[in-house]
Every structure is written in structure tokens, then in C-alpha cells.
Structure 1
């Protein structure tokens, strides 16, 4: 690998191009990701590369503008939560057309204490990956927002009910991900989330039933019940 003290966007893109493989590039399509602007560099390679470069919001912005898939993933990794402002996150989401970019972006955004304010904004947006971002953000906040009160997550359950009928693959999967993560956050939230999942499991709508069924399966598992000390 090239050793560069002060990375430029051109140098980073050149390095990414050298890291990619056609095998990995072809694999993106199997996961529903457009590979037309991709090099085929896996996250297992991107993460240590990001650590070599170090956090750099300015470089991240230049990499995002390159439009290369892995450059955009790297841009997210190079952006610390304090620099992942609402404006930056929403601007980047305008360009997102894949679940991995959406999920990595919201993973960083969820570490900001004020990112909960974006959940209803994104949930009200009908564009597929912006709407997914709302529920990916809920899922990540359930993991990262350690000091957030349970009431925040209880308030998300109605959003989950309303979105559970969205048939789009990348939306409903994020909806049940959010529901599952809420239910795994605490003993009290487990009961509330499981109740919603059971309701959805018996809904008339086919997609809602699928969301409920997936969530019930995990939240009812012995592993989760034991960890949360649910009887």
C-alpha cells in the first residue's frame, strides 16, 4: 500500500482502485448494490485504511463528491460524529442509492445526541433510502445513545407501526431492524416492542405480518430473554 502523510482525494481514490477486485465488485450486485462506480473494496479493508488516514471531514467531503462507492463509504468513516451535522447527513442522503451507504451514514449520525430530531423528518420522506435512514437511525440509536431515555424509543413504535406496510425491500427490513433493536435495549422496552411485533404478526397486511414475524422470532428467543432477564 502507498504510504502518504497528507492524503489527497486523488491519492485516496488511486489507492482504493488498487485495493479493489473484480470478484468483490461482482459480489456487490448480489447484495443489491450498484457496482457501476465501485472498485470492489470490502469494509474489512476500508476500515483499517480509514484508520491510516485519520479523521478528516474536509477530505471526506472531497471523497463524497468523487461519486465512487468506496470513496463515499470511506468519507463516512473519516467523518467524526461531531462533524456529521444534520445538514451534512441530509445532503449526503440526497445522493444515497444503496443500503450500505445509508446504514454506515446513520451509524455515525446516531452517535450525535441530537440526531433523534432527524428521525421524524426522514420517516416523513417517501424516498426509499431517506425513509430507510429513519429506521436505521432508530436501530443505531438503540445501540449508541446510551443515555437516551426509554421514552424516546417508545415514541418510535408508532412510526414503526405506520411504516410496517411499506413493501419496499430496503424499507421494511430497516423497520423490523429498528423494532428488534428497541426490544433488545432494555427489559421495559422489550415488552413494548414485543407487543407491537405480535400485533403486526397478525395484521391483514402481508408486509406488516412479515415485519412482526421477524421481530417476534428474535425478541422471543431464549438468548434475548435471558440477557434482559425477562421471564
Structure 2
């Protein structure tokens, strides 16, 4: 990585990425349901290392995003400036989402912006599969990273989870489940209402709701999770 630095241009980063492409890794990504048409097959660990090496540069981040290369887009999201990243920027990037992995990587940036709550509400009502997934990935990330946010903010998101739990599309359903589990693991105060919703969904006649609820119940009733939450309270 000696050839990359904070001053590296987008062209230099892209050239570096292309020299580290791996067809074997691309095949491995496919086995996890990741679309690889735009991917070079570089694991997330090295991508994060590159992002740390080149550091934040908002303009370069947009150049990397425009390349269309998945790894470059992940690095773009890790090196853009959240304070300068607008809601319209988020909408434009979300409109190109075509695989769960890019959604889950990029929404980490979205929750660091001041627009995150409005974007969750907006994206949740969007019928596009990966845009809706983005809403619930954002809830999951925010539950972990927005440590100063009051628990009440996340409790108010539970009805949104319930509303869209009937969406049976695989990548939406799994993100709704992820969001519910992360809210329930955020604090003891949130564990109870999240578990109550999981139990309600688990008893549903709807197949998607039932899967989300049962899976969330398993994790939220895990003794290790309960022990960790008890120590925090």
C-alpha cells in the first residue's frame, strides 16, 4: 500500500484496485448472493485499509463513486465527508443500488449525515427493493453507531419495522429483521419493546412476518445478549 497515500487521485486508487482484482474472490462473492458484474473481487478488509490510507477527500469520493466499481464505491462511502453529503447525494447513490453488499456498506455513511432520519422514512416507503433495504440497513447501523441518540428515537421506528415486515423480498426481509435485532440489542430499555414486536410477528400467519419474528426472538432471547444488556444498564 506504499503507493497509495492521502494525496492519491481517484485514477491512482482505481488503478491500484484493478491490479488487485481476483476472479476467485468474485466467484466466492456470488455464493453469498452478491452481484459481481461491477466487482473486482477485493475483500472488505483491504478496502477498509485503502480507505484509511487515503483518508477523507469529498471530491475524490464522488469520482470514485462514478467509476461504478463496487469496491471503489465502498471506499467512496468511507472517505466522503458526512457533513457535506446531502440528502440528494444519498438519493442519487441509492438509486444505483443493485446488490445487498453495496447497500450495507454505503448506508454506514448515510447514518452519519444530518439527514438520516428523514432518509429512513423516505427510503422505507420506496418500492425499489434495494432502496427499501437501505432504510432498514440504516436503522441497524444507527442503532449501533448513533450512541448519543435517545432510545426513544429507535422505539419510534418499531412501527416502521412492523409495517414493512410483510415485504417478502429476500433482501428487504433480511434487512427488516436486522433492524429489529439491532434495536433490541441497543439497550435493556429497547429490548423489551423489540422482543414484544418479534413475538407478535412470530405469531403471524404471514410467512415473512413469522420468519422475521422467530429469527429475532432467537437472538434477543440469547442469554449472552441478555447478560451484556444487563451489564450496560
With the shorter chain as reference, the TM-score category is: over 0.9
Aligned ranges for residues 93-112 of structure 1 at < 5 Å?
A: 93-112=94-113
Unaligned ranges ≥5, structure 1 = none
Residues in 2 aligned to 1:184 and 1:80: alpha-carbon distance in whole angstroms: 28
Q: Which moved more, 1:115-124 or 1:72-81?
A: 72-81
Give the match for residue 85 of structure 1: 86
What SS does the aligned partner of 2:49 have? helix
Aligned length: 230
Give the match for residue 172 of structure 2: 171
Residues in 1 aligned to 2:142 and 2:4: alpha-carbon distance in whole angstroms: 35
What is the deviation of 1:48? 0.9
TM-score (norm 1): 0.94
Residues in 2 aligned to 1:212 and 1:178: alpha-carbon distance in whole angstroms: 12
What SS does the aligned partner of 2:205 have? coil
Residues in 1 aligned to 2:216 and 2:196: alpha-carbon distance in whole angstroms: 10
What is the deviation of 1:9? 2.1
Does residue 137 of structure 2 align to residue 136 of structure 1? yes
CA gap 1:217/1:4 in 2 versus in 1, 3 angstroms: closer
Residues in 2 aligned to 1:223 and 1:80: alpha-carbon distance in whole angstroms: 36
Give the match for residue 69 of structure 1: 70
After superposition, give the CA deviation of every residue in 1:143-171 in whole Å (9 maximum; x if it has no partner). 11112122211111111111111111110
After superposition, give the CA deviation of every residue in 1:92-136 in whole Å (9 maximum; x if it has no partner). 011111111111111122123541121111111010111001111
Give the match for residue 3 of structure 1: 3
Root-mean-square deviation (CA, aligned residues, Å) is: 1.5
Would you say the 8 A contact 1:9–1:59 is kept in 2?
yes
Q: Which moved more, 1:84-93 or 1:213-222?
A: 84-93
Would you say the 8 A contact 1:167–1:207 is kept in 2?
yes
Residues in 2 aligned to 1:64 and 1:105: alpha-carbon distance in whole angstroms: 11
Give the match for residue 185 of structure 1: 186
Unaligned ranges ≥5, structure 2 = none
What is the deviation of 1:181? 0.6
What SS does the aligned partner of 2:59 have? helix
Residues in 2 aligned to 1:196 and 1:54: alpha-carbon distance in whole angstroms: 41
Q: Which moved more, 1:44-53 or 1:125-134?
A: 44-53
CA gap 1:2/1:37 in 2 versus in 1, 3 angstroms: farther
